[in-house]
Structure 1
Amino acid sequence: MIKESRERSVAYGLTESAIPDFSSVSRTDLTLAIEQNRVLHTHALPVMETLYEQIINTHNMVILTDAHGLIVHTLGDDDFLEKANRVALQPGVAWSEQSKGTNAIGTAIAEQAPAQVHANEHYLIANHFLTCSAAPIFDSEGSVIGVLDVTGDQNSFHKHTMGLVRMSAQMIENQVFSAAYQDAITLHFHSRPEFIGTLMEGIAAFTQGGRFLSANRSGLFQLGLPLTALKMHTFSSLFGLPVSALFDHYRTAAPVFLNLCMHSGVRVYARAQLHRANMFFQADQLHPGASERSVPLQAQAAQRVEQQATRRLSSLHYLNTGDVQIAALIDKVNKVLGRDIAILVTGETGTGKELLAQAIHNDSPRANGPFVAVNCASIPETLIESELFGYEDGAFTGARKKGSVGKILQANGGTLFLDEIGDMPLSLQARLLRVLQERMVTPLGSSRSIPVNVALICATHRNLRELIAAGVFREDLYYRLNGLVVKLPPLRERSDLEVVIERLIATEADGTQCTVSAAVMELFKRHNWPGNCRQLTNLLRTAIVMVGDDREIRREHLPDDFLDDIEAVQRGESGRSGPISTQVAVSMPTSATLDDVEISLIQNALAAHGGNISATARALGVSRNKIYRKIPQQ
């Protein structure tokens, strides 16, 4: 591969001793390139961040390019980025073979295969200090849409880097594939059931009538036919069953893996995701198309547009606003989407637990199913049982005629969000546990149990372990709810306040251009935000109304109670507005150097934050890499 690539480099008229081409596209053209590759960019960034976390402090960088080798995004260690800039490894610069000769990015595009180019294997002598591992990213039609690359100092070469890059590229491919077929039936399959839900699984997409649409690379390999040949097939011809068998299978409350025989005779385990644009679950049965029978076509279209708009404003990607804690939380959640794992969201009041739950639902395979939220603290104890489980006609005095379905059955086929689960009465916890274990609901006054299939997300601002110790929360229910526990950080501990404010204004201002003055932004950054995002949202909503045509939120547009809090803090009446841990004192001898002062400041800040590197970096306003360099033992 290297030999053929170098021959192409000569044919392009390049010379090995040439000075690297630093020419870059304009900022406008780079923005246009990112927009043209929006789907790739959107799905690649979280994967790049995860990949970077695995190679951090190894003198490497992660690079994403478009199909022509134009760099559109990079992440890297500060010290190596300085070296990379010397050879134009930066957004807006093309790294095709025509431009740079033999290099991993350009060669991966030319060969349409992973490429590793080390040290003097690079055509240009100026690039000999690099070691690069790149993998092309393919779309659902088998065309290269970009390249993922890890480039570093040749002395930092590690044999596992290529494997990490290839796995990460495959993750991006699978996400791009899923995004391309949101309204299709996708079949996830493998001959070994433990590989379903991993990068090894095959994914095939079908229309709701069963016609084959496409498959990911693992799916093509397992099916054993080229994409062009597969497009002549149907679900029935490939797996020997009508597509209606999927609907029959998923009518059950807790469907197990399907056991299918492929056209080749190989048996595989499978699970289907029914991305329903025109289907819905009702009580205990799936009814294709029933939700639209009595709805006019114009209303259907308007409803879908509204749902899509809501989904864009409430997705995990939308919530990822640059804070490292939020990014890590979203990465964890993404790994369990569609895996039937309960999620427990903890955090202070007002941190956005329901918004996160809605985003998890919107990004899950159940996105077209119902999202039903129940606040266990706001419903009177005498009514919460009937609200959750429903009731039959005449079940109790005052009940509505014809009974009530109940929130759990309303969520069938979708997601049930139980907010403030710590406030659920102890007497109902046993019933809820039984529903979660048996996947059956028995309404009040009924002897009939109804199958139910829901994804469960719970939230609480209380310490459930303390409630267990106090005897007011069941330990067995706790362990059933905490499949994945994530904590939303309070607003005062987040580093993305400006981005959060910008997005809240975009949502609340209803299309009106509105900004925050520098002086007000400084007030916002100093405030403790005891009500977190809820308090910030309400404050901005009021300020947007008050600002009128001025278009800029200034001090006079802020509520009086907020200004009173700010003034109280300035007078020292309420203590410090930020976390105490961010205020670090340093006492040094007069002979101390600037480097000594920096190290002492970082050590004190680390101690104040319990050794947490990320929190220390945010408090000091420096990168984590700088802390690692200054305090290597940490």
Structure 2
Amino acid sequence: MPAISAGQGSATGVYALNSEHHRALIQESQARSNAFGLQASEVPDYAPLKLTELNLARDENRRLYQHASPVMETLYEQIANTHSMVLLTSRNGLILHSMGDMDFLEKANRVALMPGVEWSERSKGTNAIGTALTEERPVVVHGRDHFLQANQFLTCSCTPIFDPHGKVMGALDVTGDERSYHQHTMALVRMSAQMIENHMFANEFPDALRIHFHARTEFLNTLVEGIIVFTMDGRFISANRSAQFQLGLSYNALQAHTFSSLFGQPVSQFFDRLRHAAGQPLSLWMHNGVSVYCQARLKPVDWFANRWAAGAAPSSEATTPEADMPSPRPATTATTAAAAGRASLSSLHYLNTGDPQVAAVLHKLQRVQGSDIPIMILGETGTGKDILAQAIHNDSTRVRKPFVSINCASIPETLIESELFGYEEGAFTGAKRRGAPGKIQMAHGGTLFLDEIGDMPTQLQARLLRVLQERRVTPLGSGKEYEVDVMLICATNKNLKSLIAQGQFREDLYYRLNGLVVRLPALRERSDFEVVANKILLNLCGPGQQVRISPEVMALFQRYRWPGNIRQLHNLLRTAVVMVGQSGSIGTDHLPDDFLDEVRESAHQSVPPAPAVTEDTAWGLSSHPLGSTAPGRADVSAPMCAASAVPSDTTSTHVPMPPSTGMVETAVRLQDVALQAMTEALRQCEGNVSAAAKLLGVSRNTIYRKKDQLPSDVWG
């Protein structure tokens, strides 16, 4: 890996096409192209590898492909609809993978810019891929800079990708129409390549000391931090590009150094300082006289065995050998063991039941395994976002660590801060003696699942963003910070971009959370309904119990819209299984009356395709005036997820309305049913809003918004 100059090393800098450096680089490449015997007017080689050969090449570059694919998707989202494409190549310039705008992909195919084609300088002359790999540095080749005339309608920004040992392993490229060239495209490509390299770096050296450093503390744990790796006795192993830039030394030059020669102190002294740092960044003086702040990542190897025995709980990574972390609650340990036991049942593979949409979601998630990229799961209420989050954890390397879930909508606003961040003794009235760790601390080393993230109070969003950026948490009433290392998964049934526009959700937090966004389809949109229903049924049946769904009921189920999605189906089948007994078929007589009424009404209604369903519209509680033409509509099949969640003996019966009564009357009726379901749930839960919301499968806010329309005697 060559030394990186100030002009080429900054991931956020602008690439200067008119610089002397660039012109000299292009001239040298053009000279090499002539020496290869290429002719500028010749037709490019259009023969890609056969699919079997391409798959073999991808297999040989599996590590690169796995780490790069999710980053490529994020990069493409940033350049979509700009007549561009993203490409990944091997070290010899063979295109392994590409994605882009369909109109531009067609143009690119005309010059063989596609998977299975080699774009080295020897094959295509001066081009960004071949030249970047030859020079081992970022390169923009714009328009007439291309050697072959056929390629001069392109503008390409490419940077090599280095493995953790300083060797070129491939390249990342963004190519577009020369007329759409943007000077900041290269910055996006460099940042994406740095992300790929840092992901590989984090997993490459399990038994080593990793120093993360930067001259400014706010840049620790960001893309631009330097990472340098040493053996436990201080011998140099590797360094990322940012570390080389800050140290002013190339990878080869660093081979001759040790921790002591680079930072002016023995590594043993550094360990002593770590033990007293209490998780705070330490200052180091580099060999060039520049002061930096650093954190250490230490894997729990035998060298620290006596320290773990002394009372500090080991974690997958710790900032200090003796991290002073509060002990996790017993429930967290039980959750960890239970998760490990369920791994074979609740894995991503188990969730693949044949629907192409779900299969695509699972495929994306499998490709980011091991990368710790934040994952955001979108989908209507009841689509199984929590089940998917557990499966992601179970398939991760963190499976033997805690999986901690917190529903941001089910905890009162007055308590959510202490639940998330923990508190010290005396932090507030009613606080436990000796305090308590928060959910974030409890998830250290494992996975933190923030369900219904869109309902998090705005005043807490800034604190969460700071924790995610700094990877430290400060309990309420404490002046001490604790290191936290979590894989983050969020879920929401809300449109966060709309909340951002309304000032109810922080835009910077949104972009920190959405590393990979996946959307779970509604149950009515899935092609695998019968498989899903039978799997739920199998899990609900006890030992020796044999219950099946009759063909009549299955046909009825498949005509229904399922506004409550999988949760509603689960509740319905759970009741039916109890009614059937030890064996038999679920018939219509085992289904709740309100559900059957709903199905009969649906059969008489002409139901157009449904818009995105929120909890209010799904419950018939839309704020739009009844009968108005506002976006969305009262869904005639909507509220029964609420009614079916309430015991049948507390759900009022109602007289079916004739179809001719119209949408206004239907909406009024739906609202009445939903309000009754809330009333009965609150009475059953003795006024506990959180418990009632959980029983109904909605957020607390959905109930609170209708407080004025509910009887006063139901509130605790």
Give the equivalent residue in structure 1 for 2:271: 244
The answer to whether the 8 Å contact 1:492/1:532 transfers is no
The one of 498, 520, 524 equivalent to 1:491 is: 520
Matching residue of 2:313: 281
1:158-202 Cα deviation digits (max 9, x unpaired): 333233323322232222222323554432211122333333321
Asked if the contact 2:524–2:560 (Cα under 8 Å) also holds between the matched residues in 1, the reply is no
Structure 1 SS opposite 2:246: helix
In 2, Cα distance between equivalents of 1:66 and 1:110: 13
**Superimposed CA distance per residue, residues 339-376 of structure 1 (whole angstroms, 9 cap, x where no aligned partner):** xxxx9989754445546766898999999864444679
Is the 1:409–1:452 contact (alpha carbons within 8 Å) kept by the matching residues of 2? no
Instruction: Work out whether residues 281 and 413 of structure 1, in 8 Å CA contact, stay in contact via their aligned partners in 2.
Output: no
| Equivalence for 1:223 | 247
Greater shift, 224-233 or 117-126, is seen at 224-233
- Picking from 271, 287, 290, the partner of 2:295 is 271
Change (3 A) 1:450 1:163: closer
| C-alpha distance in structure 1 between counterparts of 2:387 and 2:109, whole Å | 40
Q: Per the alignment, in what secondary structure is the counterpart of residue 227 of structure 2? A: strand
Cα 1:322–1:98 change in 2 (3 A) is same
How far does residue 142 in structure 1 lie from its aligned partner after superposition? 1.6
Structure 2 residue 238 is matched with structure 1 residue 214: yes
**2:603 matches 1:572:** yes
Contact kept in structure 1, 2:81 and 2:101, CA below 8 Å: yes
Cα distance in structure 1, aligned partners of 2:419 and 2:177: 61
Decide which of 162, 165, 171 is 1:138's aligned counterpart: 162
Identify if the C-alpha distance between structure 1 residues 377 and 119 changes in structure 2 by more than 3 Å, giving closer, same or farther. closer
Look up the equivalent residue of 1:160 and give its one-letter code. H
Matches for 1:583-594 after TM superposition, within 5 Å? none
Q: Structure 2 CA distance, aligned partners of 1:46 and 1:501?
A: 32
* Runs of at least 5 residues in structure 2 that lack an aligned partner in the other structure: 1-24, 324-336, 426-433, 497-503, 539-554, 574-585, 614-629, 634-716
**Identity between Structure 1 and Structure 2 (%):** 48
User: d(CA) in 1 for partners of 2:604 and 2:386?
Assistant: 33
Aligned equivalent of 2:114, options 90, 111, 114: 90
1:259 has 2:283 as partner: yes
How big is each residue's C-alpha offset from its partner over 1:571-605, in whole Å with a ceiling of 9 and x where there is no partner?
A: 626875962469xxxxxxxxxxxxxxxxxxxxxxx
CA distance in 2: counterparts of 1:423 and 1:60, whole angstroms = 36
CA drift of 1:10 comes to: 2.9
Change (3 A) 1:272 1:287: closer
State the Cα distance separating 1:67 from its structure 2 match. 0.9
Report the secondary structure of 2:218's partner residue: helix
1:136–1:147 CA contact under 8 A, matched in 2: yes
CA pair 84-493 structure 1, distance change in 2 beyond 3 A: farther
Q: Any conservation in 1 of the 2:523–2:562 contact (CA below 8 Å)?
A: no
Q: Are the equivalent residues in 2 in contact too, given 1:206–1:214 (CA < 8 A)?
A: yes
1:590-605 alignment to 2 at 5 Å?
Answer: none
1:8 to partner: Cα distance:
2.4
C-alpha distance 503-196 of structure 1, shift in aligned 2 (>3 A): farther
Q: Distance in 1 between matches of 2:384 and 2:528?
A: 15
Give, in whole Å, the separation in 1 of the partners of 2:396 and 2:273: 19
Distance 1:502 1:76, change over 3 A: farther
State the SS of the aligned residue for 1:269.
strand
Equivalence for 2:203: 179
Q: What corresponds to 2:580 in structure 1?
A: none
Alpha-carbon deviations, 1:298-344, whole Å to 9, x = none?
xxxxx9xx79x88x9679xx9997569x99xx9xx978x6xxxxx99
Tell me, what secondary structure is at the counterpart of 2:313?
strand
Partners in 2 of 1:536 and 1:234 — Cα distance? 62
Structure 1 residues 117 and 491: CA distance shift in structure 2, 3 A: closer
| Structure 1 residue 75 corresponds to structure 2 residue 99 | yes
> What one-letter code is carried by the residue in structure 1 that aligns with 2:196?
I
Q: Deviations over 1:425-471 (max 9, x none)?
A: xxxx9xx99xx9994589xxxxx99986556988788999xxxxxxx
Aligned to 2:181: 157
User: Which digits, 9 at most, give the CA deviation of each residue in 1:113-158, with x for residues without a partner?
Assistant: 2222222332222222222221111111221111111222222233
Following superposition, the deviation at residue 89 of structure 1 comes to: 1.0
**Aligned counterpart, 1:623:** none
Amino acid aligned to 1:98: R
Deviations 1:518-576 (A, max 9, x none): xxxx9999875545566799999xxxxxxxxxxxxxxx9xxx989x99x9499626875
2:90 matched residue in structure 1:
66
Pick the aligned partner of 2:74 from 50, 64, 86: 50
Residues in 2 aligned to 1:525 and 1:147: alpha-carbon distance in whole angstroms:
48
Kept in 2: contact 1:64–1:71 (CA 8 A): yes
TM alignment of 1:475-490, pairs within 5 A:
none
CA distance, structure 2, for counterparts of residue 537 and residue 234 of structure 1? 60
Give the 3 Å change call, closer, same or farther, for CA 165–490 of structure 1 in structure 2. Answer: closer
Correspondence list, 1:370-381, <5 A = 370-373=402-405
For these two proteins, the number of residue pairs brought into alignment is 495
2:152 is equivalent to residue 120 of structure 1? no
Select between 146-155 and 193-202 the one with higher mean Cα deviation. Answer: 193-202
Alignment of 1:325-344 (within 5 A): none
CA distance, structure 1, for counterparts of residue 530 and residue 86 of structure 2: 29
Aligned to 1:101: 125
What is the rounded CA distance, in whole Å, between the counterparts of 1:207 and 1:574 in structure 2?
Answer: 71
Structure 2 vs 1, CA of residues 439 and 29 (structure 1 numbering), >3 Å: closer, same or farther?
A: same
Q: CA offset at residue 101 of structure 1?
A: 1.8
For 1:179, the aligned partner's letter is N
CA distance in 2, matches of 1:65, 1:580: 41
Q: C-alpha separation between the residues in 1 aligned to 2:423 and 2:217?
A: 36
Amino acid in the other structure paired with 1:95: W
Q: 2 CA distance for matches of 1:209 and 1:370?
A: 32
TM-score (norm 2): 0.52
Name the CA shift for 1:528/1:205 in 2 (closer, same or farther; >3 Å). Answer: farther
Displacement of 1:19 in angstroms is: 1.9
Q: Which residue of 2 aligns with 1:471?
A: none
- The equivalent of 1:14 in structure 2 is 38
Number of the residue aligned with 1:168: 192
Q: Kindly tell me: are residues 362 and 580 of structure 1, through their superposed partners in 2, closer, same or farther at Cα, counting changes over 3 Å?
A: closer
Instruction: Return the offset for 1:286.
Output: 6.9
Alignment of 1:311-350 (within 5 A): 349-350=381-382
TM-superposed deviation, 1:281: 3.0
Q: Which amino acid aligns with 2:132?
A: A
* Pair 1:535–1:274, CA change in 2 (3 A): farther
- Tell me, in whole angstroms, the C-alpha distance in 1 between the residues paired with 2:534 and 2:233: 43
CA shift, 1:203, in A, is 1.1
Contact 1:114 1:135 in 2 (8 A): yes
Alignment of 1:547-566 (within 5 A): none
The 8 Å contact of residues 206 and 235 in structure 1, kept in 2 or not, is answered as yes
1:173-572 to 2 correspondences below 5 Å: 173-181=197-205, 184-208=208-232, 210-231=234-255, 233-239=257-263, 240=265, 241=267, 242-245=269-272, 247-249=274-276, 251-252=278-279, 255=280, 257-276=281-300, 281=313, 349-354=381-386, 370-373=402-405, 411=442, 413-414=444-445, 439-440=474-475, 454=484, 491-492=520-521, 528=561, 530-532=563-565, 568=599, 572=603
SS across alignment from 2:603 = coil
Give the AA of the match of 1:38: R
Q: Aligned partners of 2:137 and 2:319: how far apart in 1?
A: 46
